[in-house]
């Protein structure tokens, strides 16, 4: 199968590209190479047979039409998006343009190509989204997001992703475009751009800097190892029912404070701190606006219909992640110099502290 992957130089997108190549697919990697993209993420497959890179912005419809005509993909996996919540609070415009208008352009380019090919039944448009579109859950652990949960976005980021989800459903219902959709929980793992909670904690700890946690650290997330996510996404592409959505979770709920303490314990073991535990560096900072209290995925549909489950526990995945950052300083060190990386955005810019971005 030839798969057109948008955002394939980003965190999750590059994991999909690497997994797809390992699975024997051809890949057309379409990425604008904005601030969070890094071609080093796909360096391991750049010489692989069937891999092609196109530097194209999904806001450019003409360029997208050219890519479809040139490569004639069998499927699209649409991951390109602005994804950092703090940045969406600080500057929502880019999120509207990329996540909404960009998705519209992708849908129209894909539809035009699909119609031109005679509307093949085998074509797929896989839209990859987030559980943040569902809003916030109560503390009751029996309550989880399902595919039927009503949308209730709370940040410019989640609102823009909710809008893109609705566009994809509309193009399926109105034009018959064969789509599948997924909404995932918080990802972590190798090649995670150093502005989100897990990499910020690891890299701040190694530098002896404060480990910032919003509020009291009680916000709960479900954590999904990125390579497990990539495997799930390809499973949905190949086996998912057209028009259906699938929630993808790691089955690993932790509060932010629990997660940071777990990271500190792993670092204490793998790279002992000279002056006690890394947990001594934990610092609580003012909460960000619209910070959802809890996310939790009910993964029953993908488990029961497609037979997929995550392969790693959160402790196993975090240990692999910490070890990867310890072994790959040449990857993350240059990225720390990019504008705004590691800074808390979206509130009190004049009093910015190093932030989590999760």
Average pLDDT over residues 133-145: 88
Give the pLDDT of residue 273. Answer: 84
First vs last Cα of the chain: how many Å apart? 34
The fourth-level CATH superfamily of domain 2-188+223-248 is NAD(P)-binding Rossmann-like Domain (3.40.50.720)
Give the pLDDT of residue 163. Answer: 98
Average pLDDT over residues 17-24: 98
**Is residue 206 packed enough to be buried (19+ CB in 10 Å), middle (13-18) or exposed (0-12)?**
middle
Instruction: Choose the catalytic residue: 31, 131, 222, 298.
Output: 131
- For the cut 70, the answer to whether the pLDDT of residue 351 exceeds it is no
Entry pTM? 0.93
The 3-state secondary structure of 51-83, one letter per residue: EEEEECCCCCHHHHHHHHHHHCCCEEEECCCCC
Closest-CA residue to 45 (of 230, 214, 287): 230
Instruction: Choose the catalytic residue: 157, 225, 278, 295.
Output: 157
pLDDT band for position 44 (50/70/90)?
Answer: very high
Average pLDDT over residues 288-312: 92
132 is catalytic: yes
- For the cut 90, the answer to whether the pLDDT of residue 357 exceeds it is no
Give the pLDDT of residue 346. Answer: 42
Give the pLDDT of residue 96. Answer: 97
DSSP 275-290: TS-GGGGEEEEPPPTT
Torsion sign over Cα 241, 242, 245, 250: positive
Give the pLDDT of residue 345. Answer: 43
Name the average pLDDT for the chain: 92
Instruction: Choose the catalytic residue: 132, 165, 222, 231.
Output: 132
Q: Give the domain ranges of the chain.
A: 2-188+223-248, 197-220+253-292+312-351
Give the pLDDT of residue 156. Answer: 95
Average pLDDT over residues 31-43: 95
Torsion sign over Cα 51, 54, 58, 64: negative
Phi, psi (5° rounding) for residue 129? Answer: -130, -165
Residue whose pair of structure tokens reads 């092609």 in the numeric block: 52
Instruction: Identify whether the C-beta of residue 177 lies closer than 8 Å to the C-beta of residue 110.
Output: yes
**E strands, 86-196, where?**
124-130, 179-184, 186-188
Give the pLDDT of residue 86. Answer: 85
Average pLDDT over residues 18-24: 98
Residue whose pair of structure tokens reads 């993909």 in the numeric block: 73
131 is catalytic: yes
More confident residue, 35 or 159: 159
Q: Hey, do 2-188+223-248 and 197-220+253-292+312-351 end up sharing a CATH topology, with the first three levels equal?
A: no
Closest-CA residue to 234 (of 248, 252, 250): 248
Average pLDDT over residues 328-334: 94
Give the pLDDT of residue 198. Answer: 96
pLDDT band for position 343 (50/70/90)?
Answer: low
Average pLDDT over residues 37-65: 97
Give the pLDDT of residue 344. Answer: 47
Instruction: Identify whether the C-beta of residue 245 lies closer than 8 Å to the C-beta of residue 133.
Output: no
Q: What is the pLDDT of residues 169-225, one digit of tens each?
A: 999 999 999 999 999 999 999 999 998 899 999 999 999 999 999 999 999 999 999
What is the CATH number that goes with domain 197-220+253-292+312-351? Answer: 3.90.25.10
Closest-CA residue to 71 (of 43, 50, 47): 50
Average pLDDT over residues 88-98: 94
Give the pLDDT of residue 354. Answer: 35
More confident residue, 344 or 289: 289
- For the cut 70, the answer to whether the pLDDT of residue 347 exceeds it is no
């Amino acid at each position: 199968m030839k798969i057109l992957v948008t955002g394939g130089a980003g965190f999750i997108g590059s994991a999909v590209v690497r997994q797809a190549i390992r699975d024997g697919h051809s890949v057309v990697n379409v990425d604008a190479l904005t601030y969070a993209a890094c071609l080093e993420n796909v360096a391991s497959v750049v010489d692989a047979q069937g891999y092609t890179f196109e530097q194209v912005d999904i806001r450019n419809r003409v360029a997208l039409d050219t890519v479809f005509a040139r490569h004639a993909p069998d499927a699209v996996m649409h991951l390109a998006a602005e994804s950092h919540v703090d940045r969406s609070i600080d500057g929502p415009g880019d999120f509207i343009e990329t996540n909404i208008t960009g998705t519209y352009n992708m849908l129209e380019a894909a539809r035009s190509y699909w119609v031109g090919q005679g509307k093949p039944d085998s074509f797929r448009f896989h839209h990859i989204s987030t559980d943040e579109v569902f809003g916030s859950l109560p503390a009751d652990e029996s309550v989880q997001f399902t595919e039927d949960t009503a949308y209730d976005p709370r940040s410019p980021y989640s609102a823009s992703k909710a809008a893109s989800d609705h566009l994809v459903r509309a193009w399926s219902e109105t034009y018959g475009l064969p789509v599948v959709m997924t909404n995932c929980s918080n990802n972590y793992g190798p090649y995670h751009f150093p502005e989100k909670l897990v990499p910020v904690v690891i890299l701040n700890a190694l530098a002896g800097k404060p480990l910032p946690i919003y509020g009291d650290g009680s916000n709960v997330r479900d954590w999904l190892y990125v390579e497990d996510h990539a495997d799930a996404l390809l499973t949905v592409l190949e086996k998912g029912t057209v028009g259906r959505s699938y929630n993808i979770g790691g089955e690993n709920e932790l509060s932010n404070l629990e997660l940071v303490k777990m990271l500190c314990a792993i670092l204490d073991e793998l790279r002992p701190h000279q002056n006690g535990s890394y947990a001594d560096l934990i610092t609580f900072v003012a909460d960000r606006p619209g910070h959802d209290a809890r996310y939790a995925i009910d993964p029953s549909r993908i488990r029961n219909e497609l037979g997929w489950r995550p392969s790693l526990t959160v402790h196993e995945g975090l240990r692999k992640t910490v070890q990867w950052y310890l072994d790959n300083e040449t990857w993350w060190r240059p990225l720390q110099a990019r504008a705004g990386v590691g800074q808390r955005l979206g509130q009190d810019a004049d009093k910015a502290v190093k932030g989590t971005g999760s």
